[in-house]
Amino acid sequence: MSRVAWFGFATLLGGGCDLQTKAWAEQALRGGSRMIFDPWLEFSLAYNRGTAFSLVPDLGVARWGMGAFALAMVVVLLVFAIRSDGHLLEMLALGTIAGGALGNGIDRLIRLAPQGGTGVVDFIKVNYPWGGSWPTFNVADVLVAVGVAVLFLRGFQSAPTEAAPKPAS
């Protein structure tokens, strides 16, 4: 299988898994949250109408632009994958990032939120032992984070090393 095919496989598999888990969360968590690993991990349905970590809680009509931007990033990553002669692991990492962008981009454009408009379904909630929790997230967010981490680590592996100075003759 070609590197671009691996990119496509990772993109479609990741995006499909993300959208499937969000559909499951909408059905299974409407009645309330589920404790998975008490007290650390729970599944709790939330709709994010804003930016990552809800830094901007409601984008309003700008969510359309953010959704289109996410889908445009999938195309940009595809073009990069086509032009790249990168390692298979890099193609898979780019595909996971694209899969996450695909899932969240589709949500921003078409998934209806109960508060009106569209929103990204988040449902994974990690609780701190001292109280509070990390912002609720989804599989797409995990895909993007893992893909970026792999590319970051690969960058360290392939970073050029400084040649040792030659002794004077």
pLDDT digits (tens, 9 = 90+) for 117-126: 888 999 999 9
Q: Please tell me the number of Cα atoms within 13 Å of 149 on its side-chain side.
A: 6
Count CB neighbours of 140 within 10 A: 30
* Band of pLDDT at residue 163, cut at 50, 70 and 90: low
Residue 165 has pLDDT above 80, yes or no: no
Q: Which residue has the higher pLDDT, 151 or 158?
A: 151
Distance CA 117, CA 126 (A): 27
Residues with Cβ within 8 Å of 151's Cβ and at least 6 positions away in sequence, in order, are 90, 93, 94, 97
Counts of helices then strands in the chain (DSSP H, E): 4, 3
What is the arithmetic mean of pLDDT over 120-142? Answer: 95
pLDDT digits (tens, 9 = 90+) for 6-20: 999 999 999 999 999
Instruction: Kindly report whether the peptide bond that precedes residue 57 is cis, defined as omega within 30 degrees of 0.
Output: no
pTM of structure: 0.86
Output phi, psi for 137, to 5 deg.
-140, -175
Q: What is the set of active-site residues?
A: 122, 141
pLDDT digits (tens, 9 = 90+) for 59-71: 777 788 888 999 9
Are 133 and 35 a contacting pair, CB within 8 Å? no
What is the arithmetic mean of pLDDT over 118-147? Answer: 95
Query: How far from the centroid of its chain's Cα atoms is residue 4's Cα?
Result: 19
Residue 164 has pLDDT above 70, yes or no: no
Q: Which of 30-34, 139-143, 165-169 is least confident? A: 165-169
